[in-house]
Amino acid sequence: MDRKRKEFFRGCLLGGAVGDALGWPVEFMRLAEIKKRYGERGIENLVLNADGKAEITDDTQLTLFTAEGLLRASTRRNLRGNCHLPTVVYHAYLRWLHTQGVKCKGGEEIVKNLDGWVSKIKALYARRAPGSTCLSALSNGRMGTIEKHINNSKGCGGVIRVAPVGLMFTKKDAFKIGCELAAITHGHPGGYLSAGLHACIISCLIEGMELEDAVSAAIQELAAYPGSEECLGLINKAVELAQDNDPSEDALKQLGEGWVGEEAIAIAVYCLLVYKNDFKKAVCLAVNHDGDSDSTGAITGNILGVCLGVEGIPPVWWEHVELRDEIIAVADDLQIGFEESERWLKKYPGW
């Protein structure tokens, strides 16, 4: 295993988990409330629970189940030669739904035999304010697609979970697959194109592009998709604001609050461009605002974690994040992609 490449894979998933955990305590707070509780600079340190862990939310949970779905799809493709990837990942999302105590119409067969290993991780059964759109979309028994929308939601529940796609696929495929996986639950272009953008940026970084070039390349991919005007306008605005080199709360306000897909990815892009060499400053900026702090923190952490690797994330953060060891294991498996062994088949059965 390439040690340097391993650092980027681990950095992506750990960085996202750290950003998620930092933003979780303030997710539903306005900036004024955050400052009142944590000081004028807002929240700057992880809040640890009684077990000494910084709790992750559904953002990281779903990211892990996306990774599981991709790896199970890889198993199926390698052993059988055919695989409809979105369906395999959809099944993974139904396993996540089961961990949240919600039933799916017609999904009994998927959860009757919980094989594999991700759905057996007890800590993933914690319910941390899961998005209502994800819950309702997954529980109705129909899988959404780009062509056949399941709803008209552009919430950020799709964009927050697709980082593993960027780690496994080249940029064009990453954009397309990121969109397809988000469209399982979010039918509005803003809900799935933002996910394609997220996955594509990560893929470009894995391929060796500099951050600014990766963002530009992903924007070019975005512009080719129907219905991209709204997302494209906000992302371009984020890039323009970042050129000011004077990070401000006012700039974030111009990009929205992050509850919808294009706002969440735009806030993340702004934060990582203005603090591209400082993980802590970028993620702190990403969570200290009026909106969806854990989601914007997670996306920022995913992308900057690829840029800087684990060594660029403060050890006091990633060492205390919940499920650290499991996250590292999944990141390492994503780098491997597939292994023909009994151990692998037990972890990632091909269905």
At position 283, the amino acid (one-letter code) is: V
User: Are 163 and 177 contacting, i.e. CB atoms less than 8 angstroms apart?
Assistant: no
User: Are 267 and 258 contacting, i.e. CB atoms less than 8 angstroms apart?
Assistant: yes
At position 20, the amino acid (one-letter code) is: D
Contacts of 42 (CB under 8 A, 6+ apart): 26, 31, 34, 35, 284, 287, 288
| Measured distance CA(203)–CA(218) in Å, rounded | 9
At position 26, the amino acid (one-letter code) is: V
The backbone torsions φ and ψ at residue 184, rounded to the nearest 5 degrees and listed phi first, read -55, -35
Binding-site positions for Mg(2+) read: 57-59, 292, 294-295
**Residue in the block written with tokens 């064009």:** 172
Residues in the chain: 351
Contacts of 26 (CB under 8 A, 6+ apart): 33, 34, 37, 38, 42, 43, 287, 288, 293
State the helix-helix crossing angle for 293-308 and 189-206, rounded to 10 degrees: 20
Binding-site positions read: 57-59, 292, 294-295
At position 102, the amino acid (one-letter code) is: V
At position 253, the amino acid (one-letter code) is: K
**Residue in the block written with tokens 């006012």:** 250
Nearest to 294, CA basis, from 175, 159, 200:
159
